[in-house]
């Protein structure tokens, strides 16, 4: 996968955390997703279609999700409920929307966010579309973004 497809999502995540979560987020080394797949507790997933197809997901351990959404909303949330689900969905939506601007040549449309909550779930992408995992970190903990993107 071309780095030109990945950087808009990394940059969008870093910008989102800086401006709306009020934290610095840092990207680790991108890697091709291979088995065993990493498992998460909360993931926001957005599908991408147009002159390219794929998806972007932002995934967190449960405790980090609670802390990040609390910072995003400016109010402490202590239980996994609709506020966290909605917050994670909105984070994914903002990342996809901002990255879409930098990938305008692909006329992308983004789907409504889907949020998966469950201990140690695994995100599997579409067959034939490679997935890249970017480990991320901020002062509240570690998380990851997964990008799968293929041009037609």
Q: Where are the domains of the chain?
A: 3-151
pLDDT at 2 (0 to 100): 65
Task: Give the phi and the psi of residue 20 in degrees, each rounded to 5.
Answer: -115, -20
Task: Give the phi and the psi of residue 59 in degrees, each rounded to 5.
Answer: -130, 140
Task: Give mean pLDDT in consecutive 10-residue pieces for the chain, a chain of 152 residues.
Answer: 83 97 97 79 94 94 97 96 96 96 93 93 77 95 93 82
pLDDT at 127 (0 to 100): 74
CB 39: neighbour CB atoms within 10 A? Answer: 13
pLDDT at 50 (0 to 100): 94
Rounded Cα gap, residues 96 and 55, in angstroms: 9
The arrangement of secondary structure in 3-151, i.e. its CATH architecture, is 3-Layer(aba) Sandwich (3.40)
pTM (2 decimals)? 0.92
pLDDT at 33 (0 to 100): 86
Rounded Cα gap, residues 152 and 145, in angstroms: 23
Are the C-beta atoms of residues 69 and 20 closer than 8 Å to each other? no
pLDDT at 150 (0 to 100): 87
């Amino acid at each position: 996968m071309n780095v030109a497809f990945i950087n808009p999502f990394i940059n969008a995540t870093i910008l989102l955390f800086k401006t709306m979560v009020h934290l610095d987020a840092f990207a680790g080394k991108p890697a091709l997703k291979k088995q065993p797949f990493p498992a998460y507790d909360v993931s926001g997933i957005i599908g991408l279609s147009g002159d390219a197809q794929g998806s972007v997901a932002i995934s967190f351990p449960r405790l980090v999700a609670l802390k990040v959404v609390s910072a995003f909303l400016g109010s402490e949330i202590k239980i996994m409920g609709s506020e966290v689900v909605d917050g994670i969905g909105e984070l994914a939506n903002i990342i996809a929307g901002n990255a879409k601007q930098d990938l305008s040549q692909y006329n992308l449309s983004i789907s409504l966010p889907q949020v998966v909550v469950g201990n140690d779930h695994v995100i599997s992408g579409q067959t034939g579309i490679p997935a890249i995992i970017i480990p991320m970190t901020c002062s509240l903990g570690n998380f990851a973004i997964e990008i799968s993107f293929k041009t037609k």
